Amino acid sequence: MVDSYEVRLGYVAMSVVLSNASPSQTMTVKQFEQISDEEAGIRKLERIAESNVKNCLRLMKHNKAHQISFFRLSSRLVPLANHPLTEGWKYERTLAPVLKELGQFIQNERMRVDFHPDHFVVLNNRSKDILQQSLRTLMMHYKLLKGMGLSHKHRCVLHIGGKKDGRDEGLEQFIENFSEIPKVIQEMIMIENDDVNYTIEDALYLGEKLHIPVILDLHHYDVLHESTELLALWERVVSTWQHSPFPVKIHISSPKEGPGDRKHHDYIDAKRFYDFLQLIKGTVNKLDVMIEAKQKDEALLRLTKDLTKERGIEVHNPSEIQVLC
């Protein structure tokens, strides 16, 4: 059993502390269609995408200043990248210089980054059209990672998807579709439990069968679960990460209006998180924790401050703590 373990905190996509640094500036389909010259429309999209990537670099520099080394990149860096109106657009070529600069900074500072594509990216749908659209979106993420010079392995978090035809059918459809997708996409994927359709038990069924790392979303577990033996489930989660280049990762958020509320609070309930950290003592050496709170980096900084009041917690810097066992 380990004497202590390290916990690294990260946050999602954009900062509430750093102003004018949105990585998700966009253009609607209607706006694009109103530009009479298609080439001019593409150029405008490229300017927006380039600004988004540059803002990502600003965010990374902001994170470095606050000693934050774990971050979720926005999946909206390249607006309309997968829309039929822009078919054939080689955005990765135009963005190559800024992507390379961003990737070099991430690597030099030894930061961990990943993506979480929108909920419409699903791999358990029977529709070939929906599956192909999901794969196009995932391939966009692959191209962005490649442009940054980062390994694609275990960089994209997905929910399992819908269960219109039943939960068991949805799980088996995921397995069938997963077997047919490109290997680089298979290697890129991590899966998490959700708060409506698929429990952590379901995610583990897929993760163990397909060798996909499973992310425990603690809030989703509190809202939707079958077993109350969280520690036993957690030990299975840890096992799915044994071949990953990264430490085990979890997601945390807190209900906005009391237990059972699916909506996310501005900040994190430090007591719930602390109780979980105590529960898993001795099971990991390192743990990466993605904070899904409305107040982004401000929520991260507040959580670290709150944890300093708890017994057995040593704070190394604003985003890293040591949990004593």
pLDDT one-digit tens code per residue, 125-180:
999 999 999 999 999 999 999 999 999 999 999 999 999 889 999 999 999 999 99
Inform me whether the pLDDT recorded for 60 exceeds 80.
yes
Confidence of residue 119 (pLDDT cuts 50, 70, 90): confident
- What does the alpha-carbon distance between residue 172 and residue 170 come to, in Å, rounded to a whole number? 5
Q: What are the residue ranges spanned by the domains of the chain?
A: 4-324
Confidence of residue 1 (pLDDT cuts 50, 70, 90): low
CATH number of 4-324: 3.20.20.150
Show the tokens assigned to 320. Answer: 């890293």
pTM of the model: 0.96
Inform me whether the pLDDT recorded for 59 exceeds 90.
yes
- Please give the helix or strand (H or E) that residue 112 lies within, else none: strand 112-114
Nearest-10 crossing angle of helices 270-279, 296-307: 60
Predicted local distance difference test score (pLDDT) of residue 165: 84
- What does the alpha-carbon distance between residue 51 and residue 322 come to, in Å, rounded to a whole number? 37
Predicted local distance difference test score (pLDDT) of residue 261: 87
